Amino acid sequence: MPELPEVEIVRQSLDKKIQKKKVKKIIIRNRSLRFKIPRGFEKFLENKTIIKVSRFSKYLIIFLSNNQFCVVHLGMSGTIHLIDFKDKKDVTNLSFYNSPFLPKKHNHVEIIFDNFKVIYNDPRRFGFFQIIENNRDLKKRFIHLGPEPFDNKFNLKYFQKFIQNKSKTIKDLLIDQKFVSGIGNIYASEILFLSKVNPSKKIKSLNKKECSQIISNSKKVLLNAINKGGSSIRDFKNTDGSKGGFQDSFKVYQREGECCKRFNCDGIIIKKVIAHRSTFFCNYCQNK
């Protein structure tokens, strides 16, 4: 599943291409995604102009000309592709898998503009499209989620208040979207390495310095990943078709058995399952 940096790259791609463009037609080939696409979806989008494509956490938000919205989630395997009508062989994948090949049976939604169309392809069908009628409902849609790592609300006071009387591990906390939105398995491991915190550490035992480091490093790691075009774990490519570069900067993720990259550290990267997810950390500099 894409995390915040990968979804941000998709957002940039879409926004660049469809902003100020008018939707000519919607074709629904399969309504049975995670949530069934409503019957009125075509009418809702057709003849609307796209104002911009925004994002919250791992959700894309398409702003429409009538002050309504379409929320898109890519799920586990959803990808967004662009086909230029002038050259139908020119298929661009705007998402986190770079393969341009589209098994047609998984092309569930087509959004058609004047000179091109955008295709939503999703083999596992865990993604979804959702109609949002107004600003109030848009705010309510995300009220169950915590702030993004870049939000000023994600601060020491918030952190320490949230972890009171809780016994989960810090790794489990970082991927809890009710605590902070957008961090997933990959970046949680990288953030904790940079913070020198063991992912198995109970949050009730975190000190003030460790909390502050985790907050700061969450912003640092995710911003670095965005600047490098995301992580190409499974052939993710960024807006210009180049491979994402953050995977070349991984300190621990998928480096089990390799030497720690921290200067003057003789540790080895260990893999451990925490909260049912593979977690990577150094057995020396993250041993506390």
Task: Give 213-257 pLDDT, tens digit per residue.
Answer: 999 999 999 998 888 765 443 444 444 444 444 455 789 998 999
Task: Give 76-112 pLDDT, tens digit per residue.
Answer: 888 888 888 876 656 677 766 555 566 778 999 999 9
pTM of the model: 0.88
Q: Is 210 tagged catalytic?
A: no
pLDDT at residue 241 in the model: 45
| Active-site hit among 52, 202, 251, 277 | 277
CA 212 to chain centre: 23
| Active-site hit among 3, 8, 148, 210 | 3
Q: Is 277 tagged catalytic?
A: yes
CA 79 – CA 203 distance, rounded (Å): 35
| Active-site hit among 48, 55, 58, 255 | 58
Q: Which residue do the tokens 């938000």 mark?
A: 61
Residues 6+ apart with CB under 8 A from 69: 61, 62, 63, 131, 132, 138
CA atoms within 13 Å, Cβ hemisphere of 95? 28
**Which residue, 263, 256, 234, is CA-closest to 189?**
256
Name the least confident of 23-32, 102-111, 144-153.
Answer: 102-111
Q: Which two tokens stand for residue 137?
A: 């409902």
| Active-site hit among 2, 5, 149, 199 | 2
Q: Is 42 tagged catalytic?
A: no
Q: Is 256 tagged catalytic?
A: no
